[in-house]
């Protein structure tokens, strides 16, 4: 539509008389209304972004704390699973070899790195999911499917994880190689330069996209469809069941990518992805490539997924209750327009 011409008001037009006076007044009113609506929409966009950041930070903060608790309780299981991914041994054999290398503390090799990396990654994952849902929910006209909102947040989470690949590389090497891990990392840096710290980043990006999408798609869908309970015991069971189902979906879809990432990161010399695949298939075959370490990973991660989801949701509810007691009322229901 063409921009209306604002005419100088004459007595006739002010009174509504004169040729085209009424039409010009209506056109000018519409134009002014459009300007007002434009300012309102810009304000709403700013408010939506601000609220999304606030809710995302809150979800990420509680997610980071829950992840720190999960690492402390279950890192020994993670070590066994990662060791299997690298070497292909059974659970009993992996546990025996790890214990022989350094006793119980061997299962927590790299714990300081894990306590930095894990909460940071979980902060980014939970925050981007909540921010995306909250931002899209802020507009009355948006009716975004769960899969589309989750896919958008997955891309942000994958980039977040790529930024911290060096910590993951050092942590994974320490878990697999034990006390020799630091020497291996230093040797790779001398031979290949600093870019070696990002070895495995392509597999990390693919793994994060698939795993994050699978986990949060199931989480967002079930959280919307499965109502909360007033009974704390039923609520805990609900949260735990959702966490288990999320983890099953994520782990079964990404196990082969995690095996590939671990192989690429932890070999004493630098190898490409094709060479890494060739070595794994030569040892365990194609089926072994897809399932190496999967049974123990499913068991450990289902337990950890339930644990994390229970702690995370309790943290968020506690924070919401604290804000209500303080008189702060947040409209943080982000499921209204997600279908």
When mean pLDDT is compared across 3-7, 53-57, 198-202, the lowest value belongs to: 3-7
Asked if residues 96 and 154 have their Cβ atoms less than 8 Å apart, the reply is no
Tell me: pLDDT of 205 over 80: yes
Average pLDDT over residues 287-312: 84
Q: Is the pLDDT of residue 338 over 50?
A: no
Q: What gap in Å lies between CA 150 and CA 24, rounded to an integer?
A: 48
Instruction: Quote the pLDDT of residue 107.
Output: 93
Percent of the chain scoring above 90 in pLDDT: 14
What is the structure's pLDDT at 1? Answer: 42
pLDDT one-digit tens code per residue, 126-158: 888 888 877 777 665 456 787 888 888 888 888
User: How far, rounded to the nearest angstrom, does the alpha carbon of residue 129 sit from its chain's CA centroid?
Assistant: 6
Higher pLDDT, 25 or 110: 110
* Crossing angle between the packed helical segments 181-192 and 165-177, to the nearest 10 degrees: 130
Q: Which domains does the chain have, with CATH numbers?
A: 51-325 (1.50.40.10)
Is the CA virtual torsion 88, 254, 274, 125 positive or negative?
negative
Residue 144's φ and ψ, nearest 5 degrees, are -90, 130
Cβ contacts of 237 within 8 Å, gap of 6 or more = none
Q: Which residue has the higher pLDDT, 5 or 68?
A: 68
Give the tokens for residue 160. Answer: 């977040």
Per residue in 90-132, pLDDT tens? Answer: 889 999 999 999 899 999 998 998 998 889 888 888 888 888 8
Please state the three-class secondary structure of 79-112 as a single string. Answer: HHHHHHHHHCCCHHHHHHHHHHHHHHHHHHCCHH
d(CA 118, CA 164): 10
pTM over 0.85: no
Q: How confident is the model at residue 234 (pLDDT cuts 50, 70, 90)?
A: very high
Sign of the CA dihedral running 18, 22, 24, 25: positive
Q: What is the mean pLDDT of the chain?
A: 78
């Amino acid at each position: 539509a063409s921009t209306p011409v604002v005419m100088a008001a004459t007595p006739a037009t002010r009174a509504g008389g004169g040729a085209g006076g009424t039409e010009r007044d209506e056109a000018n009113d519409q134009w002014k209304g459009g300007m007002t609506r434009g300012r309102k929409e810009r304000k709403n966009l700013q408010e939506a972004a601000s609220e999304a950041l606030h809710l995302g930070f809150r979800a990420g903060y509680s997610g980071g704390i829950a992840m720190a608790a999960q690492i402390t309780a279950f890192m020994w299981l993670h070590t066994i699973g990662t060791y299997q991914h690298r070497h292909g041994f059974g659970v009993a054999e992996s546990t025996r070899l790890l214990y022989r290398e350094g006793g119980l503390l061997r299962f927590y090799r790299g714990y300081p790195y894990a306590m930095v990396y894990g909460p940071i990654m979980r902060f980014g994952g939970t925050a981007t999911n909540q921010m995306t849902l909250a931002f899209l929910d802020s507009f009355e006209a948006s009716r975004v499917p769960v899969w589309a909102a989750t896919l958008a947040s997955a891309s942000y989470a994958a980039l977040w994880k790529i930024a911290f690949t060096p910590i993951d590389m050092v942590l994974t090497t320490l878990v697999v190689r034990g006390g020799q891990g630091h020497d291996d990392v230093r040797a790779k840096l001398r031979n290949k330069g600093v870019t070696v710290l990002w070895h495995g980043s392509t597999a990390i990006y693919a793994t994060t996209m698939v795993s994050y999408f699978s986990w949060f798609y199931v989480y967002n869908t079930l959280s919307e469809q499965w109502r909360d309970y007033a009974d704390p015991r039923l609520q805990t069971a609900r949260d735990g069941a959702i966490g288990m189902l999320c983890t099953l979906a994520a782990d079964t879809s990404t196990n082969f990518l995690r095996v590939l990432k671990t192989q690429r990161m932890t070999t004493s010399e630098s190898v490409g992805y094709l060479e890494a695949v060739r070595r794994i298939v030569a040892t365990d075959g194609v089926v072994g490539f897809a399932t190496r370490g999967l049974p123990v990973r499913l068991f450990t991660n289902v337990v950890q997924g339930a644990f994390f989801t229970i702690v995370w949701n309790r943290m968020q509810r506690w924070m919401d209750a604290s804000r209500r007691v303080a008189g702060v009322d947040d409209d943080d229901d982000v499921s209204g327009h997600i279908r």
